[in-house]
Amino acid sequence: MSTYPVDHSEAASGIGWRVFAVFAGFLIPFVIAIGAWLAVSAHNASDKASQAAASAKAASATSSNTGMSMPTSAATGAGAVPTVSFAGIAPANADALAMRHAAFPAALPAASAGPIAHVHLSIADRVVSIAPGIHYKAWTFGDTAPGPVIHVRQGQKVAVTLTNSGAMAHSVDFHAAQVAPNIDFADVAPGASKTFSFVASVPGAFMYHCGTAPAFMHIANGMYGAIVVEPKNMPLVQHQYVLVSSEWYLNAPGTGAPASLDVTKAEQMTPDWVTFNGYSAQYKTHPLTSMPGQTVRFWVVDAGPSLNTEFHVVGTVLKRAWINADLVDAPQHDIQTAVVPAGGGGVFDVTIPKAGIYPFVSHSFASVMLGEVGLLNVGNVAGTMSH
Ligand SMILES: [Cu+2]
């Protein structure tokens, strides 16, 4: 038996010291980390403030040249630059303008016949409408943003002729192609044209877009579209619609003079409008249609430039969902919402037995508030539906 004298107060204080030591072992690095973080934050804040000032100055210096609001460098300080939102701005006659607007044709066009699909894409600077009464100075394929829907059969050769009538160099990058991009996706000078071809060997819903640097800006300015490469074995459906989602970042409201790109907003990913097929909520005033019991296929491409689309149809489930537009593997079944990533696609079938009005949305709901919503009218019923 130990005879070692035990001083209970000493023992107690020894335990206390050990507890303190363990606690301090955790606490001291924590305090140091907090201190370091505060110091870095203060430093960043001062950096960002000076960057913001520099960017604002650069924006006013460069906007007279390009018509766009641009920071000094794409990589600096965008997060700290204050911007003004023009989201939801609408003239008094917005409803009438929305009704008068000719909706971008969403129906999938027929595929080209024969072994070669000839695709002519003309590039031009065009003022487009992106919401009721809102105009935007876009760079376009085929005079619209998105550009024309291209529909080919798997295995077809796609012969592309690109004609650049715009004021600067542009190009086209087909996600459906497997080619050397430095050759086939190379820039075409203003006034010039080029041809190239590829075999559409992989089926899916693909994006095409201008790849001229900075591609970010060329996409944000409207240079994108969808190419559907259809395999032989797709289940037959009664209706097929193509939806291309994209964001718009405006340097002005666009109600009077057309707006141009605000690069800072685009870097911050704070769009003024998010659209299916280039115009806010156009399929609310001009709904897509089907009849009860029919199957509707949505070919969805997200052009970005930066935000995903969380595709969802209210009042039903996606009966078949080819996630990432992977048409080689079997689809998923009966899911609620599917992500279509920026620069990607998805193919979704719904079969709705009951007549009614079924909104389709990006369930990332901020995008709905900015215009990424439409309606599927099943059974030609009267009325509308807000979401
Ligand atoms: Cu371009």
**Residues forming beta bridges with residue 150, ordered by sequence position:** 227
State residue 385's pLDDT score.
80
Q: 70-96: per-residue pLDDT in tens?
A: 554 444 455 678 899 999 999 999 999
Centre of ligand 1 to C-alpha 31, Å, is 51
For residue 370, how far is its CA from the centre of ligand 1 (angstroms)?
25
Q: Average pLDDT, whole number, for the chain?
A: 85
Query: How far, in Å, from the CA of 224 to the mean position of ligand 1?
Result: 9
Which of 8-22, 271-285, 371-385 comes out lowest in average pLDDT? 8-22
pLDDT in tens, 356-384: 999 999 999 999 999 999 999 999 999 88
User: What is the Å distance from ligand 1's center to 209 Cα?
Assistant: 8
CA distances from 160 to 50, 140, 246, 323 (A): 47, 16, 24, 28
Within 13 Å, how many C-alpha atoms sit on residue 296's CB side? 28
CA of 215 to the centre of ligand 1 (A): 7
| Residue range 309-323, pLDDT digits in tens | 999 999 999 999 999
Name residue 92's amino acid.
Answer: A
Note the Cα 260 to chain centre separation in Å: 18
Rounded CA separation 317/155 (Å): 31
Burial code (b: 16+ CB inside 10 Å, e: under 16) for 105-119 equals: ebebeebbeeeebeb
Kindly give the distance from the C-alpha atom of residue 347 to the centroid of ligand 1, in angstroms, as a whole number: 27
125 C-alpha to center of ligand 1: Å?
A: 10
| 211 CA distance to ligand 1 middle (Å) | 6
SS (H, E, C) the chain: CCCCCCCHHHHHHHHHHHHHHHHHHHHHHHHHHHHHHHHHHHHHHHHHHHHHHHHHHHHHHHHHHHCCECCCCCCCCHHHCCCCCCCCCCCCCHHHHHHHCCCCCCECCCCCCCCEEEEEEEEEEEEEEEECCEEEEEEEECCECCCCCEEEECCCEEEEEEEECCCCCECCEECCCCCCHHHHCCCECCCCEEEEEEECCCCEEEEEECCCCCHHHHHHCCCEEEEEEECCCCCCCCEEEEEEEEEECECCCCCCCCECEEHHHHHHCCCCEEEECCECCHHHHCCEEECCCCEEEEEEEEEECCCCEEEEECCCCEEEEEHHHCCCCCCEEEECEEEECCCEEEEEEEECCCCEEEEEEECCCHHHHCCCEEEEEECCCCCCCCC
Alpha-carbon gap, residue 239 to 352, rounded angstroms: 12
Dist. CA 131 → ligand 1 center (Å): 22
Contact criterion met (CB below 8 Å) for 283 and 374: yes
Give the span between the Cα atoms of 248 and 277, in whole angstroms.
12
The rounded Å distance from CA 282 to ligand 1 centre is 25
CA distance 219 to 139: 9
- For residue 137, report the distance from its CA to the centre of ligand 1, in Å: 13
CA distance 204 to 345: 7
Q: Give 23-71 pLDDT, tens digit per residue.
A: 444 444 443 344 334 333 334 333 343 343 333 333 333 333 345 665 5
Which residues on adjacent β-strands are paired with residue 206?
Answer: 227
Give the pLDDT confidence of 163-200 residue by residue, as tens digits: 999 999 999 999 999 999 999 999 999 999 999 999 99
CA of 187 to the centre of ligand 1 (A): 8
